[in-house]
Amino acid sequence: MESFDLSQFEVAEIGVLEVLNVKDEPLLHNGEPVRIHLYGPGSTQFVRAQAKADAASQQRTFAALRGKVNKTAIDDQREDLVIKLAACTAQVENFPIPGGAEALYRNAKLGYITNQVVKYLDDWANFQQPSPKS
pLDDT tens per residue across span 69-102: 666 667 878 999 999 999 999 999 999 999 999 9
**Mean pLDDT across 112-130:** 95
Query: How confident is the model at residue 7, as a pLDDT?
Result: 85
Give the dihedral sign, CA 40/42/43/45.
positive
pTM: 0.86
CA distance 46 to 42: 7
pLDDT band at 132 (very low <50, low <70, confident <90, very high): low
- pLDDT higher at 62 or 91: 91
Average pLDDT of the residues in 40-53: 95
